[in-house]
Amino acid sequence: MNKLLIVCGPTATGKTDLGIYLAKKFDGEIVSADSRHVYKGLDIITGKDLPKSDIPIWLVDIVTPDYPFNVGEYAVLAHKIINNIWSRKKLPVIVGGTGFYIKSITDKIETVIIPPNKLLRRDIEKYTKEKLQQELIKTDYQRWKKMNVSDRENPRRLIRAVEIALYYQNNKNNLTRLLNPLPIDSKLMIGLTNPLQFLFKKIDERVENRIKKGAVKEVKELLGKNYSRFLPALSSTGFKPLSEFIQGRESLADAVKSWKFQEHEYARRQMTWFRKDERIRWFDISEKRYINKIEDKVREWYTSGTHAFQNRNFL
């Protein structure tokens, strides 16, 4: 029986520690679903402080920052790894806060198979944000209308939206090559949450700790490689404000304040995304014994080999 366990939620809720704990308990392996942890060299600013463990953790440190890794490539790799874990009679434990990555595993998303158009990107990545917005409005107004405010202000997301819109225009009769869904018999989605005042406090402490660990040095080294500012890796929270500090445009205190604000907004966006998914079973990490409650829920699901739980979500 192909079972899939997902641990998701906003940043700073302890997803990785919980994932490793559950993987040890239920003979599993971790598959990361973090769009920034795929990049080598972005260790401190992305919080890639993985605890020492004998549990395999897949899809971490797989590409360099100058590689424009995308959700389509993630989905292909994740599907192969999950099938491999199943073939060895182990439990895949998906851990992360990138909602679209998780969705590419749990659901069928046709746009993930649309490949990057390098020629198009080379031309339009020089555009201003405003020109990219106009290009998308002209190319696919309906797609523009569906974008949220954050995506409309994000040049990388705008470029991808234009890319998808043009692909649809030019391949109207060739859209059947979709990534086959995983043969999931039963999945359990565990969500970690925390009241915002406590979550923001944890986030702020993490940012301060990353500064102490050498985040400024890490960003300085990345800047020295003259990467394109449109690379997905360089949209990581913390990169821009620390770049502003390094280039003398603002003080370290202001850069840290901006970084914390970015992390707060990112956590809000994560919660907005995940709250829409009614399959997720939520646990508040500020409550006593929440780990025990999660373990009990997972054990109930994991040991249920009956047909009652096949081909459905376990809530």
Can you say which residues are annotated as belonging to the binding site for ATP? 9-16
Q: What is the pLDDT of residue 171?
A: 75
Domains of the chain in start order, with CATH, are 3-108+179-313 (3.40.50.300), 111-170 (no CATH)
Closest CA to 294 of 279, 303, 304, 284: 284
- The separation between the first and the last C-alpha atoms of the chain, rounded to the nearest angstrom, is 18
Q: What is the pLDDT of residue 110?
A: 66
* φ and ψ at residue 73, rounded to 5 degrees: -65, -40
What span, in angstroms and rounded, lies between the C-alpha atoms of 54 and 220?
33
Q: What is the pLDDT of residue 305?
A: 66
Q: What is the pLDDT of residue 313?
A: 54
Can you say which residues are annotated as belonging to the binding site for substrate? 11-16
Q: What is the pLDDT of residue 140?
A: 94
**Does 116 or 34 have the greater pLDDT score?**
34
Q: How confident is the model at residue 270 (pLDDT cuts 50, 70, 90)?
A: very high
**Torsion sign, CA atoms 290, 296, 299, 301:** negative
pLDDT tops 70 at residue 133: yes
Q: What is the pLDDT of residue 309?
A: 41
Can you say which residues are annotated as belonging to the binding site? 9-16
111 CB neighbour count, 10 Å cutoff: 16
The pLDDT tens digits for 236-260 are 999 999 999 999 999 999 999 999 9
The pLDDT tens digits for 57-89 are 999 999 999 998 888 899 999 999 999 999 999
Q: What is the pLDDT of residue 311?
A: 44
Q: What is the pLDDT of residue 306?
A: 42
**Burial (CB count within 10 angstroms: exposed 0-12, middle 13-18, buried 19+), residue 281:** middle
The pLDDT tens digits for 176-195 are 455 678 999 999 999 999 99
- Within 96-187, residue ranges assigned H as helices are 99-106, 118-124, 129-139, 141-146, 149-152, 155-170
The rounded mean pLDDT for the chain is 92
pLDDT tops 80 at residue 109: no
